[in-house]
Structure 1
Amino acid sequence: MRKHILVFTILSAIILSGCSIGETVEKRLSETLTEIHTAEQGYRDVQSELYKIEQMEQDQFESIMKLTQKQKDELKSGVTELKKLQQERSVLIGDEVTSMTKAKGLAESFDDDIKKADEVALDGIQTLKTATIERYDLHSVFISEYKKLQDIQNHLYDMLINEETELAELKDEVEEVNLQNEKVQSAINAFNESTKKVNSLKDALFSSFEDKK
């Protein structure tokens, strides 16, 4: 039975601070990107703490799996700690969602930049906006899968202290957690690839502005 139940969520951070350029469209676009980057600070702030808590929860889970049903007090105490760590993760995930939701809202400011752009810059800005919104949508997918993972984990923790839980049932539930963990990891990978795409498009767009000078 595999005992790994957690996904470690160190996600790529988008590099959105653009160059300070004199022209109106480029300057406004740079300001928009900087505002988005700033809005994502809350998301970046929780990553190291989230990773730390996940590791603690993983270690605690592995310790509990070495206990038997006869060690009732230790089991209950261990599960209580798991649920406490789970709650701490939920709070951090909530902070992350708040930060990314605010940033996604600011991404709508690209519309103002598009209105002021010339025909050459228009396509690049529209492409960047589409990719940026898609990135936030992929983050929402990750959050959805992550919360499903937490629900399954909580059910597993409850099973650990239920004296009527059979070993076969416990194994099946651990497998469910592992399967959902894979979905979360897949969502993380998609989000990270999207982050790389946005950063690449941003760099290319500002390079094109420089080339026109």
Structure 2
Amino acid sequence: MKKLVGLFSVISLGAMLAACNSNPEKTVYDHLEAGVEEESAYTENQSSLQEAEEQEQQWYEEVIELGMDEYDQIVSLTDQLISSVDQRRDFLAEEKNGIEAGYEEATKAEAEIESIENEEAKAHAEEVQEAIEQRYESYNSLHDLYAESLDLDQTLYELLAQEDLNVEELEDHIDQVNSKYDELKEATDQFNQQTDTYNQAKRAFYESADLNVTFD
């Protein structure tokens, strides 16, 4: 049976800063938290992707329970499945735009790091930038795998709609789908880990820089 993806990845930790005078630490903070705001569409799309995946799973299970004497219903459901894949492609593109915008904003903080006089805070700020890069790289891998899984899902639904369905071909393709989902699960776990690392590095920087920050 085709597996449900269940792709949920957490966004970076948000923080609020009490009023303070402008300094390099505050400028770094501003860029990092502006990056979180730029990613806001990402969390919204995670919910949309999850809902679409769950609906597809339901339709898929209905299709495989139908016999060929109910072919018209099979075609109707597979049309809905393929439309859902197209919708998920749109969600994925919007999500990537949010990640890209957040990354571009957060990396602007790097220019201010050399101006930080507090050596401990400076070291933590450098760790933040390293974490940003690793998280971004991890997301790109996750995105590419998800895009590949969408193509495999669409092919699966097209196979199910064939009146002269080849069962062996279908089973082979389902194996490919599930194998890709295993890769996707691993990449999701890696991205979540990189996000946790980024959150921890950011918190350590804010604390060492004596910024009066309240975390979400």
TM-score clears 0.5: yes
Normalized against structure 1, the TM-score is what? 0.92
Report the counterpart of residue 32 of structure 2 in structure 1: 33
1:130 paired residue number: 130
Q: Partner of 1:70: helix, strand, or coil?
A: helix
- The alpha-carbon deviation at position 123 of structure 1 amounts to 1.9
Encode CA deviations 1:160-195: one digit per residue, 9 max, x unaligned. 122333212211111110110011111110000011
Asked whether the 8 Å contact 1:25–1:117 carries over to 2, the reply is: yes
Aligned Cα root-mean-square deviation (Å): 1.6
CA distance in 1, matches of 2:145, 2:53: 16
What are the residue-to-residue correspondences of 1:1-213 with 2, within 5 Å? 2-4=1-3, 6-17=4-15, 19-20=17-18, 21-22=20-21, 24-118=23-117, 120=119, 121-210=121-210
Is the CA contact (8 Å cut-off) linking 2:107 and 2:132 kept in structure 1?
no
AA matched with 1:29: V
Cα contact 2:149–2:177 (8 A) shared by 1: yes
The C-alpha deviation readout for 1:123-155, integer Å capped at 9, x for no partner, is 211111111121111111111000110111111
Give, in angstroms, the shift of residue 18 of structure 1: 5.2
Structure 2 gaps, min length 5: 212-216
* TM score, norm. by length of structure 2: 0.91
Between the aligned residues of both structures, percent identity stands at 22
Change (3 A) 1:25 1:107: same
Aligned residues: 209
Question: In the aligned structure 2, how far is the partner of 1:39 from the partner of 1:3?
Answer: 34
Q: How far apart are residue 23 of structure 1 and its match?
A: 5.4
In structure 1, C-alpha distance between the alignment counterparts of 2:110 and 2:25, rounded to whole Å: 13
The residue identity in structure 2 corresponding to 1:175 is D
Distance in 1, Cα, partners of 2:130 & 2:40 = 21
CA contact (8 A) 1:9 1:47 kept: yes
